Chain A
Amino acid sequence: METDVLIIGAGPAGLAAAFEAGSRGLDVVMIDESSRLGGQLSQQTQMVSMLPSQYPPMKGFELAKLLINQLHDFPVKILLNHPFIGLYQDGSIGVSDGKNVFPISAKKVIVTTGAAERAIPFLKWTMPGVMTIGAAQTLVNRDFVVPGKKAVIFGSSDFALDVAIQLKQVGVEIEGIIEESTKLTAQNMDKINLIKQASIPIYLNSFIKEVGGNGQVEEVYVQQDQEVKTFHADLVCVDGGRKPITEVFYQLDCSFSYQEKLGGWIPQYNERLQSSQEGVYLGGNAAGISFHGSILLTGIIAGISVCEDLGVLEADEANSLRDSLFKEIKIIESKQDDHLWLERMTHIENFLHPKLKNQFIS
């Protein structure tokens, strides 16, 4: 199979990039390992705000629908259930359809593989009943399964609070939100107020020491100061944050550098969202964990840069588009968390000084 642009990952960043390339007449192939478009966004029922200026605040799955629908009229070929599995010697991308592996040869590749949740290990953390906070949400929203009756939530990000409220709405009793630091990590006051209104107890300076039970979680032991408190619960939702999914970049031999706020080791890129491999671009959470707005904007920038490099967009226009898009990223990121924006800038500056290159060469 041959195409102008191959997009790996059909979440919000991939969809946004596909629109840029497809709407300017480029042939686009978009692959995703899952069975549906939109990535995690498709099952997010919480409101997503801080979107780029053209979008009003809306729920996650509504945004996903919008991004999917805007591709309808354009030459975007979508291959679901098609994971990337490696590279051929000639540089073409190996994709599996579940039975066979075939090459896709693309002039440009945009990698928008998103992020994966991190877990937090504690004693017996692999016991059934312990899951990441996102997994709990997926069970409720995608699979219509209530993950437990009584839950303890470990971590207090905005996302964890969203899911706590949501679990409560579907009838799960929230026994407590456990936070290691001295205050909640969530920034959004509305969400914090919702938790308070719902009378969900919050335990600061505390952490899960161990869970117990006969083949499945029955008790949760929480250490607070010198005391260990026992909760009776069958569900533990762990909010360990997220990390970019980077395997594809390793395969493509991209350079990396470390940015704590952006999620750890991430591929290096310039202000064009172009990686150290000339034909490889990236966007979304794969380019650093951030807010929905930045996920879309970086995907759009990657799409624009590809359009420019394939000659369907003038350099002047591409530059001015990128400038204004970066201004939007700055507004979104510096408003929520100034360090995030500063780190992104540092990351882009570091592009000229690869931190981890040729990682296969030892």
Chain B
Amino acid sequence: MNTSYETIIIGGGVIGNSIAYHLSERYREGVLVIDKKYPLSGTSGSTQAWVWVHNKTPSSYAEFSMYSAELYPYLSRKIGDVEYKRTGGLSPFFNEKDRDKAKRLAESYREIGIKIKVLSREEVIEKEPSINPNVAGATFSKIDGNVNPFRLADMYMRAAKKNGIEYSYYNEVIDIQKKNDQFIVFSKNGEYTCKNVILAGGTWSRELGKMVGVHIPVNQVRGQILVTEPLKPFINYTISGMRQANNGEVLIGYSMEEAGFNRSTTLDVMQETANMAMYYIPDLGKAKVVRAFSGIRAVPEDGLPIIGKVPSVENLYVATMHSGITLSPLVGTLMTELLVDGDTSLSIAPYSIERFK
């Protein structure tokens, strides 16, 4: 068994896998991805998987998200069909007072080139006929959409493996030490040495950071998602809180709870979620909910991604964030540039871990 690598990526979610895949386009030797379980057993496999740009703040973060969304069609051509659909995103509001807020959002986005329309009541109903007729309006952006997260992670992985990236599953990293210019990664199944370590552990970033004496302020936020029986296609857009998947199931989720790593579902939240969904789309009241699941989101303390070098430890990198699905194509690209070229084509300075000092 090889135990010496150029780069070890800790975490095999969409972010770790995207970095692995994009790295494999540039150099094929000496990259290992380690996952404590199996890819998709964590956050990446328990998500609504929106590729979502609009109403992210500040607008610079929306811009960053937009560049990533722009990469999706190209990514699909490279790694295979990930069921990416640019449906357009609709964020309805039900109070006329919210229109000014929506207009201000649209204005601030216009400056950076993201087109957001503030729709009238009639326009919303025309676009999404099944919406609650009491709707006052909505913000609408063409760039939003969704993807099949299972295919996404799987296709990244297949492409990366084909290009020579190695994987080790069910292999929890227990400790990381730095000796001279080398990292020693201690895992459940053995020790590895490498030059570069990339921490892509998502919700577990805080714990991984501790191993190398770096504070990575990422919290866990639980979201519970309801899944309906397959319904004939009737939701045209990705609407805040829900989307209809290719097979007709509607995925619905609004909740955000602090529950550590506990992935239970609770009826309180399920009922609230169902009520919200029926408020948005009254016809959903007739649908049967067949399944509920919860996912633990990685949410950095200030909500923004943490990407780039860790200045206090040479050759240590971090890539952890909320909205990993949206951002994975861009983050994989930029991290690869950073490792191979030493610089990125798009500034990631705002997302440096340094900001938490």
Q: Are B262 and A87 in contact (CB under 8 A)?
A: no
CA distance A86 to B264 in the complex (A): 10
Q: At the interface, yes or no: A101 with Cβ under 8 Å from chain B? A: yes
Q: Are B267 and A88 in contact (CB under 8 A)?
A: yes
- For the residues of B in contact with A, the DSSP-based class is loop
Partner of B268, one of A89, A253, A360, A361: A89
CA distance A362 to B203 in the complex (A): 10
Report if A101-B267 is in contact (Cβ < 8 Å); known contacts: A362-B37, A362-B41, A362-B42: yes
- Report the minimal beta-carbon distance from A267 to chain B, rounded to whole angstroms: 16
Residue numbers in A under 8 Å from B42 (CB-CB): 362
Q: Are A88 and B266 in contact (CB under 8 A)?
A: yes
Partner of B270, one of A86, A103, A361: A86
- Report the minimal beta-carbon distance from A100 to chain B, rounded to whole angstroms: 10
Partner of B265, one of A86, A361, A362: A86
Q: Are A253 and B264 in contact (CB under 8 A)?
A: yes
Give the number of chain B interface residues (Cβ < 8 Å): 16
Residue numbers in B under 8 Å from A181 (CB-CB): none
Q: Are B292 and A361 in contact (CB under 8 A)?
A: no
Partner of B264, one of A85, A87, A101, A362: A87
Q: At the interface, yes or no: B271 with Cβ under 8 Å from chain A? A: yes
- Which one of A86, A88, A101, A251 has the highest number of Cβ atoms from chain B below 10 Å of its Cβ? A86
Q: At the interface, yes or no: A94 with Cβ under 8 Å from chain B? A: yes
CA distance A85 to B262 in the complex (A): 19
Report if A87-B267 is in contact (Cβ < 8 Å); known contacts: A362-B37, A362-B42: yes
Q: Are A86 and B266 in contact (CB under 8 A)?
A: yes
Residue numbers in A under 8 Å from B74 (CB-CB): none
Q: Are B262 and A361 in contact (CB under 8 A)?
A: yes
CA distance A103 to B269 in the complex (A): 14
Q: Are A85 and B267 in contact (CB under 8 A)?
A: yes
CA distance A360 to B265 in the complex (A): 10
Q: At the interface, yes or no: B261 with Cβ under 8 Å from chain A? A: yes
Residue numbers in B under 8 Å from A360 (CB-CB): 262-264, 294
* A60-104 interface bits toward B, Cβ cutoff 8 Å, 1 = contact, 0 = none: 000000000000000000000000011111000010000001010
Q: A362-B42, A362-B263 are in contact. List 4 more A-B contacts (CB 8 A).
A: A87-B264, A251-B265, A360-B262, A361-B262
User: Which B residues fall within an 8 A CB radius of A?
Assistant: 37, 41-42, 261-271, 292, 294
User: Which A residues fall within an 8 A CB radius of B?
Assistant: 85-89, 94, 101, 103, 251, 253, 360-362
12 A–B pairs (Cβ distance < 8 Å), ordered by A: A86-B292, A87-B265, A87-B266, A89-B268, A89-B269, A101-B267, A103-B267, A360-B262, A360-B263, A360-B264, A361-B261, A362-B261
